[in-house]
Amino acid sequence: AQRVTQPEKLLSVFKGAPVELKCNYSYSGSPELFWYVQYSRQRLQLLLRHISRESIKGFTADLNKGETSFHLKKPFAQEEDSAMYYCALAGGTSYGKLTFGQGTILTVHP
Amino acid sequence: KAGVTQTPRYLIKTRGQQVTLSCSPISGHRSVSWYQQTPGQGLQFLFEYFSETQRNKGNFPGRFSGRQFSNSRSEMNVSTLELGDSALYLCASSIRGLAIRTDTQYFGPGTRLTVL
């Protein structure tokens, strides 16, 4: 079975502070992991995926297979980063299915 | 490229009625997936269609059904609506349903269904 856990429902930081959104997963095979973001009144959009290993809007995420984690990090948070963040997993022959975590609402205060 | 579009954006129905939601994928995408989003359960996978065939299905009752047309557009139908069906229904398209490592799902804006 596939499962994604985001332990923090709410996360508040001040502008310029580092931020880390946690994501843990459970999957027996080799997963594909994603971070999606939903800004206020906008559609869900892909932020980054682990195979691309690129930094988007200053965010990075490293897949740690030993700890089954895929935490999202940014060294200096900006107010425009305030949004809902979802970690998601795709695996094997489960076609077209992303398993999402419950999401973390990030608020960056000025 | 135009993004994923969904119609209608808002719907109000009463218990017992049925409803049909529509999704147009990004041009060239052959896979369409549907999700239900609620505050309590979050984002849950309903089903996926590829080349007019349902390939994958989530844990929802048979009242939830879908289909896909030859142009990859998809519809989702919910019969005998219940209060608990009130949710945001999201459609997502991808080239091959995440079957290849470089594939990505792109989401539509959703249809907000309210059941009274």
Buried/exposed code over B99-108 (b: 16+ C-beta within 10 A; e: otherwise): beeebbbbbb
Q: What's residue A12's pLDDT?
A: 97
Residues 6+ apart with CB under 8 A from A66: none
One-letter identity of residue A58: G
Say yes or no for a CB contact (<8 Å) between B110 and A51: no
Overall average pLDDT of the A18-32 stretch: 92
Shortest CA distance from A95: residue in chain B: B97
Q: Within 10 Å of residue A7's Cβ, how many Cβ atoms?
A: 11
DSSP class per residue in chain B: ----EEE-SEEEE-TT--EEEEEEPPTT--EEEEEEEETTTEEEEEEEEETTEEEEE-S--TTEEEEE-TTS-EEEEE-S--GGG-EEEEEEEESSTT-STT---EE---EEEEE-
Could you tell me if B99 lies within 8 Å of chain A, comparing CB atoms? yes
Please name the residues between 30 and 89 in chain A that touch chain B, using a CB distance below 8 Å. 32, 34, 36, 43-46, 49, 51, 86
Residue B101: what pLDDT? 75
∠ Cα A79 A103 B87 (to 5°) = 110
- Select from A84, A89, A98, A99 the residue whose CB has the most chain B CBs within 10 Å, as the one to mutate to test that interface: A98
Nearest alpha-carbon partner for A69 in A29, A24, A33: A24
The predicted structure's pLDDT at residue B22: 98
Confirm or reject contact between B108 and chain A (CB < 8 A): yes
Give pLDDT, residue A56: 82
**pLDDT tens figures, A33-75:** 999 999 999 999 999 988 777 778 899 998 898 999 999 999 9
User: How many C-beta atoms surround the C-beta of residue B115 within 10 A?
Assistant: 19
pLDDT digits (tens, 9 = 90+) for B7-66: 999 999 999 999 999 999 999 999 999 999 999 999 999 999 999 999 999 999 999 999
Using CA atoms, how far residue B6 sits from A31, A44, A91, B60, in Å, is 29, 13, 26, 21
Q: How confident is the model at residue A88 (pLDDT cuts 50, 70, 90)?
A: very high
Q: How far, in Å, CA of A103 to CA of B41, rounded? A: 11
B8 prior amide bond cis, ω within 30: yes
Q: Which of B92, B98, B104 sits opposite A95 (nearest CB)?
A: B98
Mean pLDDT of all residues in A3-27: 96
List pLDDT tens digits, range B70-110.
Answer: 999 999 999 999 999 999 999 999 998 887 777 889 999 99
pLDDT recorded at residue B98: 82
What is the predicted pLDDT for the residue at B5?
Answer: 97
Assign A77 a pLDDT band (cuts: 50, 70, 90): very high
Checking if the pLDDT of B6 tops 80, the result is yes
Asked if the Cβ–Cβ distance from B101 to A94 is below 8 Å, we say no
